[in-house]
Amino acid sequence: MAGTFMSAQVRRIATLAAHFRVPSVAATGERRLQAFATMANTSVFENVQQAPEDPILGVTVAYNKDPSPSKLNLGVGAYRTEEGKPLVLDVVKRAEQQLVAEKSRNKEYQAITGNQQFNKLSARLILGPDSPAIAKNCVATVQALSGTGALRIGAEFLAAHYAKPQIFLPMPTWGNHNKIFPLGGVSQKPYRYYDPKTRGLDYEGMLEDLKAAPDGAVILLHACAHNPTGVDPTEEQWEGIRKVIRSKNQLPFFDCAYQGFASGSLDKDAYAVRSFVADGGECLISQSFAKNMGLYGERVGALNIVCRSAPVASRVDSQLKLVIRPMYSSPPVHGAAIAAAILEDGNLFKNWTVELKGMADRIISMRHQLYDALQERGTPGDWDHVLKQIGMFTFTGLNKSQVEFMTREYHIYMTSDGRISMAGLSSRTVPHLADAMHAAVVGAKSKV
């Protein structure tokens, strides 16, 4: 039996050898058979190196491995309920029920640019219902794979069609920005944004760097709820930023991931974008519906390019199709249909704004509770920035060693730069976080 098995194995290896054109394997003896068997079992990817974990998603990986019952994940940028659970909005459930009830719906491919009704309503949401740019057909809008996909489409379009494809990014910015643009063919440089000393906006430094940037450069701007710092310009500061950018014929590229999720007002959070569009200039706007509709896994987003005229917008639209077609060909159906249903139906839209404000208000409440808890403990330092910053994230000012201490001793997980997701907190977990922050700060002070 053993001999029969071995001869079958030899025949199999000999057949493989013939297929791969290894000469005379069957005739060269056991040593060559063993050598070929080793070669056949060696991966062509043997030299591929282990990549590091994503600095944000890797936090969740570490959190999941921690068996502690008191562990707390403040790294993930996703809304959680007071019970720490993911939230599916009631309005999303209702929209899905309506879609399921439509017997005529199918699973056919969409157009390259996606759901046209979604595109129309998405542009109106960010630009406003009375936007002259929309009225004059000066906006090219395509459905994208959430905000990340919209940014990548924009990057590849700029690399192919913009005279000066170099983008300036705020320091710091969302980590993925630093990967999306170079891979999309656009080189990048930083500009000053966050001031660690004040834990607020370095407005003067920002203006200096924008003035020093080349005429025509692309400038990435967070529309609201800056990630990771939670620091936004005031309306007056936005006006100063707009004047500098327009004076140098620079091209603003807005990343809008939190409309309505920052302040609770869709219109207020769109202020910066609308002020730039109102002056008649051109810009790009990436939109995401992950946060404000809770459609994280549905990957719902859009890219809007506001142009000088309708003919230019039409040509831009045609070229966006050529970017999308070889990338993913056609966007997914379901999530965009949900968003379109909510944006189109008056009752659903009204209910959405109520739920949206409820999420924003809960996050604001977490800010106040954390601030009060730190004050009660007498935690050294000025913590006013916890209240002044806005949106999902707070840049705590904690350094890497303090973060590591909190993870090791208190099982609290966050990014190494001290960013925490306020949406991951609850009234139950605020005291635990405040204890950890107090211990980390006091410990650092005692070593000085």
Domain CATH for 335:
3.40.640.10
Q: Cα–Cα distances in Å, from 170 out to 127, 156, 348, 371, 420?
A: 23, 20, 36, 27, 19
pLDDT reported for residue 11: 58
**Band of the pLDDT at 25, cuts 50, 70, 90?**
very low
pLDDT at 37: 61
Residues 430 and 328 in one domain: no
Find, among 224, 264, 260, 263, the residue nearest to 357 by Cα.
Answer: 264
Are 362 and 338 part of one and the same domain? no
Q: Is 352 among the residues known to form the active site? A: no
From 174, 232, 352, 383, the catalytic residue: 174
Whether residue 260 contacts residue 227, with contact meaning beta carbons closer than 8 Å, is answered with no
For residues 239 and 213, state if they share a domain. yes
d(C-alpha 119, C-alpha 127), whole Å? 12
Helix (H), strand (E) at residue 433: helix 430-446
pLDDT value at residue 19: 52
My answer on whether 71 and 136 are in the same domain is: no
- pLDDT tens figures, 406-442: 999 999 999 889 999 999 999 999 999 999 999 999 9
- pLDDT (tens digit, 9 = 90+) per residue, 150-206? 999 999 999 999 998 899 999 999 999 999 999 999 999 999 999 999 999 999 999
What whole-number distance in Å separates Cα of residue 91 and Cα of residue 359?
13
Determine the pLDDT at residue 77: 82
93 found inside a domain: no
Give dist(CA 256, CA 56) in Å, integer. Answer: 19
pLDDT for 43 equals 87
Full DSSP string of 102-125:
-TT---PPPPTT--HHHHHHHHHH
Q: Domain for residue 238, yes or no?
A: yes
| pLDDT tens readout for residues 135-144 | 999 999 999 9
In a domain, 428, yes or no: yes
Give the model's pLDDT for residue 56.
Answer: 72
Contacts of 284 (CB under 8 A, 6+ apart): 154, 158, 251, 252, 253, 254, 303, 304, 305, 306
> How many domains, in total, are found in the chain?
2
What per-residue confidence (pLDDT) applies to 444? 56
Confidence of residue 15 (pLDDT cuts 50, 70, 90): low
Same domain, 377 and 314: no
Considering the domain architecture, whether residues 427 and 313 belong to the same structural domain is answered as: no
337 and 250 belong to one structural domain: yes
Q: How far is CA 329 from the centre of its chain?
A: 21
Residue 208 lies in a domain: yes
Higher pLDDT, 23 or 364: 364
Are 232 and 305 members of one domain? yes
Does the active-site annotation cover 291?
A: yes
The rounded mean pLDDT for the chain is: 91
Give catalytic status of residue 238 as yes or no.
Answer: no
Residues 6+ away with beta carbon under 8 Å from 412: 71, 72, 74, 406, 432, 433, 436
Whether residue 365 sits in one domain with residue 266:
no
Tell which wins on pLDDT, 301 or 32: 301
Give the pLDDT score at 84.
85
Distance spanning both ends of the chain, measured CA to CA: 76
User: Which run of H or of E encompasses 272?
Assistant: helix 271-278
The string of pLDDT tens digits covering residues 231-262 is 999 999 999 999 999 999 999 999 999 999 99
Integer Cα distance of 273 and 255 in angstroms? 10
The answer to whether residue 22 is domain-embedded is no
Least confident of 37-46, 313-322, 387-396, 423-432: 37-46
pLDDT band (50, 70, 90) for residue 76: confident
For 326-349, how does the pLDDT look when each residue is reduced to its tens digit (9 = 90+)? 999 999 999 999 999 999 999 999
> Are 422 and 401 contacting, i.e. CB atoms less than 8 angstroms apart?
no
User: Band of the pLDDT at 12, cuts 50, 70, 90?
Assistant: low
pLDDT in the model for residue 4: 45
Burial level of 98, CB count in 10 A (0-12/13-18/19+)?
Answer: middle
pTM of the model: 0.87
392/367 Cα distance (integer angstroms): 10
Residue 190 belongs to a domain = yes
Percent of the chain predicted with pLDDT > 90? 80
Whether 16 maps to a domain, the answer reads no
* CATH code of the domain containing 442: 3.90.1150.10
Q: What is the pLDDT of residue 60?
A: 83
The parent domain of residue 425 ranges over 57-86+357-446
Provide the percentage of residues in the chain whose pLDDT is more than 70. Answer: 90
Residue 264: the pLDDT is 93
Write down the catalytic residue from 202, 232, 291, 317. Answer: 291
Q: How far is CA 388 from CA 115, 199, 232, 233, 383, in A?
A: 38, 10, 9, 11, 9
Query: Is residue 384 predicted with pLDDT exceeding 90?
Result: yes
Which position among 202, 209, 232, 255 bears the catalytic label? 255
**363 shares a domain with 330:** no
Same domain flag for 336 and 252:
yes
Is a pLDDT exceeding 80 seen at residue 40?
no
The residue with greater pLDDT, 61 or 187, is: 187
pLDDT of residue 170: 98
Do 414 and 325 fall within a single domain? no
Q: For position 33, what pLDDT does the model report?
A: 65
Residue 69 within any structural domain of the chain:
yes
Q: Using pLDDT thresholds of 50, 70 and 90, give the confidence band for residue 445.
A: low
Q: What is the pLDDT of residue 8?
A: 54
